[in-house]
Each structure stands twice: as structure tokens, then as C-alpha cells.
Amino acid sequence: MPGYAETVAMSGVIAGEYARANTNLYDLGCSLGAVTLAMRHGVKAEHCKIIGIDNSAAMIEQAGHYIALDDGKVDVELLCADITVQNIENASVVALNYVLQFIAKDQRLNLLSQIADGLNVGGALILSEKICFDDDEQPLQDKLHLDFKRANGYSELEIAQKRSAIENVLIPETESAHIARLKQAGFGQVIRWYQCFNFVSYLAIK
């Protein structure tokens, strides 16, 4: 995924900026724990806890191995759970990287509202998504993304298989739709801090 490494690294930097002492940080849809670990090493505030949540038991198990090998000092808890029904409490930072796009559209606002409700005032949501464009920019962005895949060794078959696998599963939306929903959920400020082709990252502040 173009820009993924930068998104992970900056999630740690942003966590360091917005984490507050005696609060929780959440990595929702934590997968193998890359963002969890980046946050762990970025946090400077005392007595914080990072909670990584994923609905795949295999992912949580593997993430646990990586966490155990890591020398970070911040407490980490990993949960195998559905993020759409998980309570967010006393949070200063929440990461939701490339996850919302796999949540049903009619559940996205509820999830973001749940996150906003659980964030303390001044808390930050890191939201990374694949977006679509509502003008003639989309074909160019698609072409550049395909060129990126080919340049990184993907065969035409692999590209076709990937497209088939995510069709009707990953449902991107426009930037304006994302920002409007974030505002509706309770976030006062939203900025786009990173973009690589149609992959973007936002910082939403409560």
C-alpha cells in the first residue's frame, strides 16, 4: 500500500503529541500491531495504556508475539473484539487506519460517534482511508496507483486478483463525505496531513 510506512511512523509521532498522562490510546483494527508499536514508542506522557483491538484471533495472537519482543515501556492490552461495539473510554488518541472502509456505510457514523464520545476534549483521531474522487481526477489516480503496483513487482494477474478480492468489500468515499461525517460525529477540526494517490490520512480533533 503506497504510503503505509509513513502512516505508521507518523501515527507514533501524532500519538506522542496528543497523548496525555493517565489516559488510554486505542488502535482499532490493530492487525499485527504495527501502529500499536509506533504509538508505544511515540508516547511520552506517563501512565498511559495502549489498547489494540482486532476481530481476528490470529492477528491478535501474532501481534502479541511482536509486543512481547518489543522493549517499549507503555502498557499494551490486546483484545479480540468487534470495534463497532467496543467501548472507548478516557482516550487521548485513537487510531483507525484503513479500517473504516471495510465497515458497512450505515455503521460508520455510529463508530465515529462512539470514538468521539470516548475521547477527552482535545483528543485526536488518526483516520487513514482509501478515498475516491468525484471528478475527472479519479482515472488519473487509479492509473498512478496501478503504475505504483507494477513498479513494485506486482504482476497483472496479481493486480487483477487483488481488485477482484476487494470489489464490493472495500467501499471508498469522497473526502467531503469523510469530513462531513467526522464533523457530524463530534469532531471540531479535521485536517488532511498525508496523501499518496488516493490513500489519505486525517487528523480529527475533538
Annotated binding site for S-adenosyl-L-methionine: 4, 29-31, 54-55, 82-83, 97
Question: What is the enclosing helix (H) or strand (E) of 75?
Answer: strand 75-80
As given in the structure block, the three cell numbers for residue 191 are 485536517
From the annotation, which residues make up the binding site?
4, 29-31, 54-55, 82-83, 97
Q: How many CB atoms lie within 10 A of CB 163?
A: 10
Q: Which residue in this structure is represented by grid cell 479480540?
A: 80
Q: CA-to-CA distance for 175 and 49, rounded, in angstroms?
A: 31
CA angle 159, 163, 165 (to 5 degrees): 115
CB 2 within 8 A of CB 36: no
Distance CA 1, CA 48 (A): 30
